[in-house]
Structure 1
Amino acid sequence: MSEGIFIRLLGEVSAEFRRQDAEEPIDLGPARQRTALSILAAVAPRPVPMDRLVAGVWGENAPRNAEQSVYTYVAGLRRAFEPGRGRREPSRVLAGTPAGYVLQVEPVQVDALLFAEWVEEARRVQRAGDDPQAVRRLDEALALWRGTALSGLSGPFAEAERDRLEQLRLAALELRAESLLRLGRHRDIVEELGDLTRRNPLRERARELLMTALFRSGNPAEALKVYEEGRVLLAEELGLSPGEGLRRCYEMVLRADAAPAPSAPAPQETPHQLPRPLAEFVGRSGEAGWLTERLAPRHETSPSPLVIITGPPGVGKSALAAHVAHLAKDHFPDGQLFVNCRGATPELPALTPLDVLGRFLRALGMPPSAV
C-alpha cells in the first residue's frame, strides 16, 4: 500500500516513508528514473500512458530503447517503494493498467499537489472575506517549497513543470500580499514585495502591490519610482504600456487618495500594443504590400490566420512586421497584441510560451489571479 509515502517535487525530487514520528528516505535512483516518478506524481492517482512518459523524459530525442528504459525505471521505483514485495506479487504502489502506469497515492502525499490544493483553498477563503485564514493557509503552502522545483532534473516535462509550479508560487505570494494589505500589514511586506519585484521585474501585479504597500507606508515618492521603472521596462522589453491595474495604482498615488484594498483589475480596454510606427520606413515595399494584402485583403476574401517572416538576424524582420501591423490594424478593431520575446537580448532570458500567453490574457482583460 502507499500509506506513509510522501513525495517531494518542490525542490530536489525525493520521497520518504513516514512511520509514526520517524521519516525514512527512499532511494529513488538515477535522474531519469526520478523524472519518470515526477511525471507520475504530478497527476497522481491518474494513469500516465507510455508515450507520455517517453515524451516527458526525452522529448523528440528519445532513443530507440526508450520504452525498455521506462520499464527499467518503473521496476526500480517499485523496488524502492515496496522493498519487501515478492517477485510475482503485483505492485500496490505503482500499478500497470491498460490506460498506463498509475502511482497509487493521494494528492496529499505529493507536495506539489498539496501546494496547489492549499493555494486554491486560500483563494476561496479570501473571496469569502477571511484574510487571516487565507494568510495562514498560504504560509503553510509556501513552507512546502525547499528550493527550485524538480531541481537537478532536465527534459521536456521537468522544464515545463518547473515553470508552471514557479508561476503558481509567484501567484501565491501575490495572493498572500493582497490579504496582508487588507489586514493593514503593509509595512511588513514592503521588503518582501521589493524582492519579488526585483526578481520578476515584468510581473505587473507584484509591482502594483509593492506600490500600494509603499504608499500606505508613507512613501509615495518611492511608489512613483517603482511605477516609472516598470513603465520603462515594459516599453523597452515588451513594447507594452502598463496595464489597467498598475495605471490605476499610479493615479491613486498621484491623487494621494486613500489606497483601496487590492482587487482583481477591472476589465481591460481594447488592447493596442503595437510599438510606435517608425518615422521612416525605407525599402521592402514589395514584401510590405504582399503581407498587408494577406492580412487585410482588399477583396471579399478571408485574411490569412498566420503570417511568418523569416530571415537571418539583423535584416529588419521585426521592423517590417511592426510596419505592416500598423498598415493593417484598422482591419482588427478588437485590438492588437504585441510581444518582444527577447530572443536577441542577451542580458535577459527569453520569454517562455507561458509568459507570452499570460501577458496576452491579462491584456485581454483576464484577472491576473485567473491567469
Structure 2
Amino acid sequence: MTAEKARLEFRVLGPIEVLDGGKPLDIGRPKQRCVLGALLTEPNRLVPTTRLIERVWGEDPPDSARNVLYGHIGRLKTALGADGEDEATLARRSGGYQLTVDPNTVDLHRFRRLVVTARNTDDDRRVAALLDEAHALWRGPAFADVSSSWLLNLRTTLENERISTLIDRNESFIRLNRSTEILSELHDLARYQPLDERIARQLIIALHQSGKKADALIAFATLRSHLVEEVGLDPSPSLQVLEKQILTGDPALHSSS
C-alpha cells in the first residue's frame, strides 16, 4: 500500500462494516458478513475451506454449506472488487480462500499493532496516546451483528483484550495525573466489572487525584459490598492499605499515584 490514505476500511470491532471512502458497502446478510469476518481475522493467509465452514456454521454444518459458502465468496468478491487492481482481493486457492488486504486497514489488526507499540514504549504520554487511539477503534462488542460458536469464543477473547488495554491506558493517564479525563469511563468500567480489583483501584485513585476523597471511599465500600455478597471475600490487603492511606491523607499516596 502506498502512503496515500486507504480507500477501503474494514471494521469488526463492533458490527462488521466495510467502508469505501467513508461510505458503507453492502456486504450482504449475516452469514455472508460472518464469512468476511472469519477471513479478516487472518488477512493474507490461506484459510482452508473446512476451517471456514466450521467458523461460520459450527461443527455440524448443513450438507449445502460448501455450495452456500461458494456463493457468499462470489458476492463478497463483487462487493470488494475482483479485478486484482483493488486494495482488497478475495481469491480461491488450493484448499481454501485468501483475502489479501493491508492489515492496517482492518481495525482489529490496527488495534493490536497499537497495543504492541504502546507496550514497547517507556514514555507515558506516548503510551496514553497510543492506547487511547486503540480504545477509540471499538464501536461495541466485536462482530456484534453476526453469530457462530467460533465467533462467540473469539468475541470473549477480544473483549478480554479490550479490557486489559483499557486498564493499561488508564494506568498511564493516572501516572500523568490526568485522572479527571477518564473518570466517567472508569465509573462505567467499574459497573461493568464490579469485582475487578484492578479497575476498582484505578477508580479509587482517580477519584482521590481529582479531589473527591468521599467518592473514593464510597467506591471502596461499593467494591467491598460486591466482593462480600458475590464471593464472600474482603478486598485485597493492598486495597485495604489504599483505603487507610486515603482516610489518613498519607502523603505517600500522592507520590505513588
Whether the aligned pair in 1 keeps the contact of 2:13 and 2:141 (CA below 8 Å) is yes
Amino acid at match of 2:105: Q
- 2:71 corresponds to which residue? 72
With CA pairs under 8 Å and 6+ residues apart, which has the higher RCO, 1 or 2? 2
In the alignment, which of 102, 107, 110 is matched to residue 103 of structure 2? Answer: 107
Report the CA distance between 1:67 and its aligned residue. Answer: 2.0
Equivalent position SS for 1:48:
strand
- The question of 1:185 aligning with 2:184 is answered no
Q: In structure 2, how many angstroms separate the alpha carbons of the residues matched to 1:188 and 1:119? A: 20
Asked if 1:7 corresponds to 2:7, the answer is no
What is the alpha-carbon distance in structure 2 between the residues aligned to residue 69 and residue 167 of structure 1? 33
- Out of 184-193 and 131-140, give the one that drifted further: 184-193
Deviations 1:298-354 (A, max 9, x none): xxxxxxxxxxxxxxxxxxxxxxxxxxxxxxxxxxxxxxxxxxxxxxxxxxxxxxxxx
**Where do 1:167-246 residues align within 5 Å?**
167-243=160-236, 246=239
Query: Is 2:55 aligned against 1:59?
Result: no
Residue 13 of structure 1, CA deviation: 0.7
**Local SS of the residue matching 2:211:** coil
Per-residue deviation, 1:95 = 2.5
Q: Which runs of 5+ in 2 are unaligned?
A: none
Cα distance, 1:249 vs structure 2: 3.2
Deviation at 1:248, TM superposition (A): 4.8
Could you say what secondary structure the match of 1:16 adopts? Answer: strand
Aligned equivalents of 1:69, 1:240: Cα separation in 2: 52
Report deviation, 1:241: 4.7
| Aligned structure 1 segments of 4 or more residues deviating by more than 4 angstroms | none
Hey, what's the Cα distance between the residues in 2 that align with 1:261 and 1:37?
47
| Secondary structure of 1:225's aligned partner | helix
Q: 1:219 & 1:94 partners in 2: Cα distance?
A: 55
Q: Which amino acid aligns with 2:145?
A: G
1:138 counterpart residue number: 131
SS in 2 for 1:60: coil
- The answer on whether the counterparts of 1:204 and 1:242 sit within 8 Å (CA) in structure 2 is yes
Q: Which amino acid aligns with 2:96?
A: G
Map of 1:315 onto structure 2: none
| Counterpart amino acid of residue 11 in structure 2 | R
Partner SS, residue 28 of structure 1: coil
Higher radius of gyration, 1 or 2: 1
Compared CA separation, residues 61 and 229, structure 1 to 2 (3 A): farther
CA contact (8 A) 1:41 1:103 kept: yes
Which residue number in structure 2 is paired with residue 47 of structure 1?
46
1:69 to partner: Cα distance: 1.8
Per the normalisation by structure 2, the TM-score is 0.84
Count how many residue pairs are aligned between Structure 1 and Structure 2. Answer: 251
After TM superposition, give the deviation of residue 107 of structure 1 in Å.
Answer: 1.5
State the Cα deviation string for residues 260-309 of structure 1 (Å, max 9, x = none): 546xxxxxxxxxxxxxxxxxxxxxxxxxxxxxxxxxxxxxxxxxxxxxxx
Structure with the larger helix share: 2
Match among 144, 157, 161 for residue 151 of structure 1 = 144
Alpha-carbon offset, residue 224 of structure 1: 2.8
Structure 2 residue aligned with 1:163:
156
Change (3 A) 1:66 1:176: same
TM-score (structure 1 length as normaliser): 0.60
Give the CA deviation at 1:66: 1.6
% of aligned pairs identical?
Answer: 37
Deviation at 1:11, TM superposition (A): 1.8
Alignment-mate amino acid for residue 176 of structure 1:
R
SS in 2 for 1:146: coil
How many Å apart are 1:104 and its aligned residue?
Answer: 0.8
> Does the CA contact (< 8 Å) of 1:55 and 1:156 recur in 2?
no
Q: Report Cα offsets for 1:210-230 as digits up to 9, x if no partner.
A: 011122233334323322322
Q: Name structure 1 gaps, 5 residues minimum.
A: 86-91, 263-371
Which digits, 9 at most, give the CA deviation of each residue in 1:32-61, with x for residues without a partner?
A: 111111111012122222222222212234
Residue type at the aligned position of 1:168: E
Are the equivalent residues in 2 in contact too, given 1:39–1:157 (CA < 8 A)? Answer: no
1:251 shift after superposition: 4.7
Which structure 2 residues correspond to residues 27-38 of structure 1 after superposition, within 5 A?
A: 27-38=26-37
Amino acid at match of 1:188: E
Q: 1:160 to 1:203 in 2, by over 3 A?
A: same
